[in-house]
Structure 1
Amino acid sequence: MKQGTILIVDDNRNILTTVKMLLENTFEHIVAIANPNNIPAHLREDKPDVVLLDMNFQSGINSGNEGLYWLGQIKKMRPQAKVVLFTAYADIELAVSGIKAGATDFIVKPFDNDKLIATLKEACSKSAGGSDAGSGESGMYWGVAPCMQELRLMVTKVAATDANILITGENGTGKEVLTNEIHRLSHRSGKSLMTIDMGAVSETLFESELFGHVKGAFTDAKADKAGKFELAEGGTLFLDEIGNLSYALQAKLLTALQRRSIVRVGGSVPIPIDVRLICATNRDLSDMVTKGEFREDLLYRINTIHLHLPSLRERREDIPALARLFLNRYAAMYNKPAMELTPAAEQKIKDMPWYGNIRELQHAIEKAVILSDGREIGEQDISGSASVAEKPMEGVQTIGEMESRLIEKTIRECDGNLSQVASRLGVSRQTLYNKIKKYGL
């Protein structure tokens, strides 16, 4: 599925053409401009979700001040837009300054195509329009369910502190959206919120991603690179799927947290860190401690405050409002007329199990909007991906569908324990995680 709108700003027209072609299958609307003075007009007219911004525009001037200036202007005019900086190897330290000034990430030239696409997709998913957990003005839809109101009260109390937080909940309940809300309410909101998906980072790249590296530390280390700890300085560091971190790497993370400093890979100089740590998982870390799969001392360190996000099945009174929120969003996105749910469709939505939680509901509504020819979404237009797994395997049409159902079924049988799921299916955790992402489980 194509995502929102991206504005590309670079004075090199060859780069504009190349990047635009690369992103044709990723973004719904792509705007490419060579003159940064046109940025304000496009922010007003096109309302981009993401801006890919070059750091230097005038020939022979490589200070990066232009990029930092326009970064500031974008954050003032359209604060919900995520800015990804475009920079050369020699300007990486400038990019780090940009991150501290509010940019979401940076891409180094010459760029890797897959890395470019992945970085921009991630940035779009973090924008106000790309949230997948139901959002209002603040980015978080709290609803009226008592369990959510209790959680909201707790978040209000702890957000203003620097206490480390562990967020638990099933897949699709909105753990990253809750993290964004906590950061927004904290005194660190003016600084960066950096995210690392522990399930998507290989063990070999973990230290470089988290702690950074110095030039020559390994074969592809062509320049010094700051890690996410440094980029989050003064702000918040979000470690998603912390339960997927191997036991050996847990020790390295614990050491950094205890010493409040990190050392870049290949380096020797300790670098002090000041971050607020938020971790998330869909697994039972206490059970993992008992089984020797997770360090007890690390659990104590990251679990000063524990917040649990209830499943959609535990807050059924919020389902119709969430569905209407997504209905309005996708009707606008796909240029459809105003739509509404029939009473039968609303009742079906309330009764469905929604094992994939808010993310599954969102996808179901989006699909219904795309396929609808009228203004009403009927009972027959609503289907859920996770509940499909209950159907007999004989009904599958493709190998991919069979694989998707098998993974869903095994996840439920293992109560979301992905290590156990991977073991039962005979694949690595990384392979399993990639397939979960592929099928949107």
Structure 2
Amino acid sequence: MLDGKIVLVDDNEAVLKTLKMILAREFKTVVGVSVPTLLPALLREGDVDIVLLDMNFVTGRQDGSEGLFWLERIVDCPDSPQVVLITAFGDIELAVSALKRGAADFVVKPWDNEKLIATLQGAFRRRRKERAEAASVRRISAEEENEQVVSLLVGSLLKKYAQAYGKQLPAVTPDGLVKLSGLIRQGDLSVLQQTIERAVLLTDSSSLGADDFYIEETAPSSRPVTLEEMEKQFIREVLREKNGNLTLCAQQLDISRQTLYNKMRKYGL
């Protein structure tokens, strides 16, 4: 049995009961509804893997327009489920057209149970693969956003203290950046500032490695801040130091004015 959720939409109660009986052995959760207007509420939680959608719901109307309407609504949803259409034999051309609009597949009434199950299992595998790929993209994006914040904090503080003590701007070696990244993720901006200031003050080297960053043992912060909160706090400090001069702030942060605008808007500064 697949640990998935499938929603069946068909206005024929006999068809619904039959499908539920067949698919209850294949999917952990099977929900059947006779009207598609219930779909928005069912899809709101984002836990539906497949919608098995009939093409016609209005008595006397067999052009499939209502099915196409709801197909478009479903595929436009964030993290939309796979949509498999169920249609009469004479509507195959319509079903093929629907595939171009985002449907994953279709089955024809009267259906073959084995083919029906195989089609839905294939849709389920595609759904899970898509979700895994999306999660991977989100993770990579988050890591890149984190790297940008780390670079902004470290680079800005190095520039600040190098200027303050009349020293050349040092580079940070990869092992040094790893050490500072770990410190940043502890969520205490003051400790980060003290660590970088001490390294710049005590070292005349053109580069700073992990051994140059001495981290004092201090009591843990009562409420460690997130990376974004730390960035917000730091930008606020720079704005205060530069008396709100955005050009000087952008120069200190080593970012463009537009990027500074975007971050200020993001953080409500």
TM-score normalised by structure 1 residue count = 0.30
Structure (1 or 2) with the larger CA radius of gyration? 2
TM-score normalised by structure 2 residue count = 0.49
The structure that is helix-richer by fraction is 2
